[in-house]
Structure 1
Amino acid sequence: MTLSSSLQHLLPFTPLQLLAICAGIVAAYVIFGIAGFGTALVAGPVLAQFVPVATVVPLLALLDFVAAVVNVSRDAGAADRAELRRLVPLMAFGSLVGAALLLLGRPQAMLLALGIFAVAYALYALSGWRPVARLSARVAVPFGFVGGIFSAMFGSGGFIYAIYLAGRIDEKERVRVTQSTLIGLSTLTRALLFLVAGVYADASILALAVLLLPAMLLGTALGRRITLRLSREQFLRVVALAVLCSGAFLIVRYAMA
């Protein structure tokens, strides 16, 4: 079997399908380059049209880990270590629970769950709601645990961590760096869990991750550039509208199946 035919077997996409996947990845990692999270909410609905839903999260776990390393490599020292010590163990435990639910769940039900999750996040982002008072350190328990579950099941607990960190840390830069660090650790945990579970024995996931690596790096770089010209709040509002439409589409698709 030639290299070309091997790749065609592992990645059975038409050029137009591959272009759509790459465009979704670039858009998702533009958002990641700005906000430090959110890739699954944009890339997930796109990937779900072309690959099995159960492979979307493991695929994005690999790409998110590399993107997070790129994001925090320059300023990881600015992360709030006290908050990391609170959240990381809870996040790891939640990831174990979420990974078990993901691997034992029904793909069709996961499709509906991903759509509901995307719509719920978009409505939260568009509402403009933010915690008024400083959150207690004790609420790290539900935020860390639930964030871990969402990270393992849907590929993004980022917005949950963002709510907590915004209510605990005043400096925006410390919030961004701490969140990016959490996402890196979260995706590493998820990738290791999927590795142990044998998910990455499927060579097509690894091949697609390698193929999409340039699109991920391009999106991350563009996100950094856009950050200099557009406020994070303005850009995330536009993104929230796109996520809302994507989530609604998945729910309609589930209802029509």
Structure 2
Amino acid sequence: MIVYEEIIYIALLTLLASIIGTLAGFGISTIMVPVLLITLPLPQTLLLVGIVHWFNDIWKMLLFRKGIRWKIFLAFGLPGIFTSFLGSFLSLRISRDVLSRALGIFLIAYVLFIIFNQAFKLSQKLSVAVSSGALTGFFAGIFGIGGEINAVSLSAFNLKKAVYVATAGAISFMIDSTRIATYIQGGTRLDPVLVSGFLIFIPVSLIGAVIGKRGVEKIPQEKFRNFVAIFIFLLGLKLILFP
């Protein structure tokens, strides 16, 4: 049974995750899911974090609203809708540990590769954007974590900081909307106390996004890609060690 003290802990976790998620363009689910799984069942965890993530998507789009690249958004987002539904449907039917570790290995390998091959960039072809969006949606649906793949692919487009964060938020908004609806349709419900907690979680996530925006503005553009790469590496390591 959820007690009100836990609402405060979740609110603080939401604040931290929202700051980092806005700074890097991803990471909210990777931070919140493993922590909440200590006390909550998996279905409730995925739904709760999905809703928090959905609101953070909105804050990113509003705070960086002049930066969305609509062609990239559609190329990533449309296939992500379908695969997010598929991943959400399969979320309680297959083991996520193997997928999580595989994703972690891929992320670390990618970061190490670009460190030693500074000139390498993923292709900016439409096929790369579509396949990346599909993978992002699938992983987001199946275990609530997919933004890392999104970040890897978006970094290939050399987007300005504001454009990167806004576009990532818009893509994630489409995917999160699909998976939240799928979780609810599948019968997942939150404890009434948790539902009341959104009166705190939502404004706290906005505060975190505002703080994160100020941090983004202070990071030099030429160092922003390296900043994102560091987060990708750390989260990849987390997925391997603690899937």
**TM-score relative to the length of structure 1:** 0.75
Code of the residue aligned with 1:35 in structure 2: it is A
**Amino acid aligned to 1:116:** R
> Alpha-carbon deviation of 1:90?
0.6
**How large is the Cα RMSD of the aligned pairs?**
3.1
What number of residue pairs does the alignment pair up?
A: 236
Amino acid corresponding to residue 74 of structure 2 in structure 1 = R
> In structure 2, the residue corresponding to 1:66 is in which secondary structure?
helix
1:21: Cα distance to partner? 3.6
- C-alpha displacement at 1:143, in angstroms? 1.2
Question: What is the aligned-residue identity percentage?
Answer: 18
Q: Deviations over 1:172-195 (max 9, x none)?
A: 432322111111222112222222
2:142 to 123, 147, 153: 153
Q: 1:122-173: per-residue Cα shift (whole Å, max 9, x none)?
A: 6257537275253321223321211110111122322222222222354443
Question: Looking at CA atoms only, which structure, 1 or 2, has the larger radius of gyration?
Answer: 1
- Gaps of at least 5 residues in structure 2 are none
Cross-structure match for 1:4: none
Name the residue aligned to 2:108. Answer: 123
- Unpaired runs of 5+ residues, structure 1, are 1-8, 252-257
Superposed displacement of residue 60, structure 1:
1.2
1:32 aligns with 2:33: no
The 2-side partners of 1:114 and 1:48 are apart by: 17
- Distance in 2 (CA, whole Å) between partners of 1:118 and 1:90 is 19
Does residue 250 (structure 1) correspond to residue 229 (structure 2)? The answer is no
SS in 1 for 2:91: helix
**Equivalent in the alignment of 2:82:** 93
Kept after mapping to 1: 8 A contact 2:23/2:216: yes
Task: Note the 1:1-257 alignment, pairs <5 A.
Answer: 9=1, 11-12=2-3, 15=5, 20-105=9-94, 109-110=95-96, 112-113=97-98, 116=101, 119-120=104-105, 123=108, 127=112, 129=114, 131-132=120-121, 134-168=123-157, 170-200=159-189, 203=192, 205-230=194-219, 232=224, 236=228, 239=231, 243=235, 246-247=238-239, 250=242
